[in-house]
Chains A and B, each alone.
Chain A
């Protein structure tokens, strides 16, 4: 079903995507070196890395529903890379905070995490993503077997916490976090719907496939 590119085409496509996903980071570094990040460069870096972390997190979550809707069976082959990019930008996001905001003062970080709900949820999202990134290899997937799947369903929590983090940070104009939230709701809703149709009509299910 759908478009079925050959092995070589798929590899080229994936390499292209890999390069494309690096562009925001390359651009940031370039602009930082050229002192072209504007009046508040630190904030610009934090905003950009955070935005792209959320973007890739949602892109990761979009793979399964997209495959279901389009029938493109090779799409899941991109999921690990997209997820790792989400972690990459989230880690960069946290690093710029830890470095440029509090100069790696563990006490200050701890205080923020405990005291500020938006940092609490953002930090929680990052912590959740650490074991997911570490167990993203094929070997770990094999070794963990059934448990791998339940472990990696934590990505839903990371997505929700990530959107909350953005939502609670903005002052009044919530349009952007709202948009992220809406996309997340659609992606999670699609899963619930798929599960319900699979459970609710066991007779009809095989025919639907």
Chain B
């Protein structure tokens, strides 16, 4: 069930203290990125205190769960290209250059082409989508993303009848990502969705969170967000989107097929072979004094997406 939030104060209108403290840094970066000059229609610039705001109107599907604190959303991340500790991405991702940035879209489409990041920022009206994010490691957050449905981009390239799947490749820059030296996963990181999953309105391309452009550690400048799947499906820092007839290879599935399936839908009834997925701990809320909370089927988005998997054995096709 979707309960719409009253549109009074968006989290984006509240600037977190940490951002405020880093305002000079943000201004400098924004200047270098040409953001200040590119005051496009969707890119409203804040007068103060940061110039990297990304205006978003309240979107559909937002949860009423309390958003996780900005410091945790941007300080506790899995982004192995920058190291495998949760604090590594916040520490090291700053080195990644996110401008200029282009995303190549090709494969089974009538109009293959590439999109510059400035163009993506203006491709469709930017909505705020407050989604639950459930990590396969059994913790979760609530994140106010800014972006638009991936279907907006897909329609523009006109997939052919052969396009059954979409694969996503992400940045793999050796000079800024020391984690690429670790043989933990195959690089560049790859993810994939079935066409109907990619077209689902819940699936978004996110360009920001908390009303600002994406911090690097969260997958700047543009990432996928698929809220009913485990977090690793939501590939970060996208550089290529390809439409294919065959099911594409995905990084975690390649690394350990028995543990991470292609679908990886959040499912409390299908445990990871090594740990239970029945419950989770909400970051910033479930501490020493509270029990773990129950994980919801499809991360609470069953009403919207269960139909995509009708007739499938979710225990086998996990």
Question: Which residues of chain B from 60 to 115 have a CB within 8 Å of any chain A CB?
Answer: 71-72, 75-76, 80, 84, 86-87
- Contact across chains for A173 and B76 when beta carbons are under 8 A apart: no
Q: Which residues in A have their C-beta under 8 angstroms from that of B257?
A: none
Interface size band for B: 20 to 34
- Contact across chains for A118 and B76 when beta carbons are under 8 A apart: no
Asked if A173 meets B182 with Cβ closer than 8 Å, knowing A39-B72, A39-B76, A42-B281, the reply is yes
Asked if A172 meets B288 with Cβ closer than 8 Å, knowing A39-B76, A40-B281, A116-B274, the reply is no
Across the interface, name the chain A residue whose C-beta is closest to B251: A172
Q: Does A77 lie at the interface of the complex (its beta carbon under 8 Å from any beta carbon of B)?
A: no
Interface size band for A: 10 to 19
Q: What 0/1 pattern do residues 98 to 141 of A give for CB contact below 8 A with B? A: 00110100000000100011100000000000000000000000
Q: Which residues in A have their C-beta under 8 angstroms from that of B297?
A: none
A38 to B184, CA, bound (A): 25
- Contact across chains for B184 and A172 when beta carbons are under 8 A apart: yes
- Contact across chains for A172 and B274 when beta carbons are under 8 A apart: no
- Contact across chains for A38 and B255 when beta carbons are under 8 A apart: no
- Contact across chains for A171 and B288 when beta carbons are under 8 A apart: no
Across the interface, name the chain A residue whose C-beta is closest to B283: A39
- Contact across chains for B275 and A116 when beta carbons are under 8 A apart: yes
Interface of B: prevailing SS: loop
Task: Please give the distance in Å from B165's CB to the nearest CB on chain A.
Answer: 24
Asked if A38 meets B292 with Cβ closer than 8 Å, knowing A117-B274, A169-B274, A173-B182, the reply is no
Interface-centre pick from A43, A103, A172 (highest chain B CB count, 10 A):
A172
Asked if A39 meets B274 with Cβ closer than 8 Å, knowing A103-B291, A172-B255, the reply is no
- Contact across chains for A40 and B283 when beta carbons are under 8 A apart: yes
Across the interface, name the chain A residue whose C-beta is closest to B275: A116
A117 to B274, CA, bound (A): 7
Across the interface, name the chain B residue whose C-beta is closest to A118: B274
Q: Does A5 lie at the interface of the complex (its beta carbon under 8 Å from any beta carbon of B)?
A: no
Q: What 0/1 pattern do residues 155 to 187 of B give for CB contact below 8 A with A? A: 000000000000000000000000000101100
A32 to B288, CA, bound (A): 9
Q: List 10 A-B contacts (CB under 8 A).
A: A38-B76, A39-B283, A40-B76, A40-B281, A40-B283, A42-B288, A116-B275, A118-B274, A172-B256, A173-B184
**Which 6 residue pairs of A and B lie closest in terms of their CB atoms, listed nearest first?**
A39-B76, A173-B84, A172-B184, A39-B72, A39-B283, A173-B184
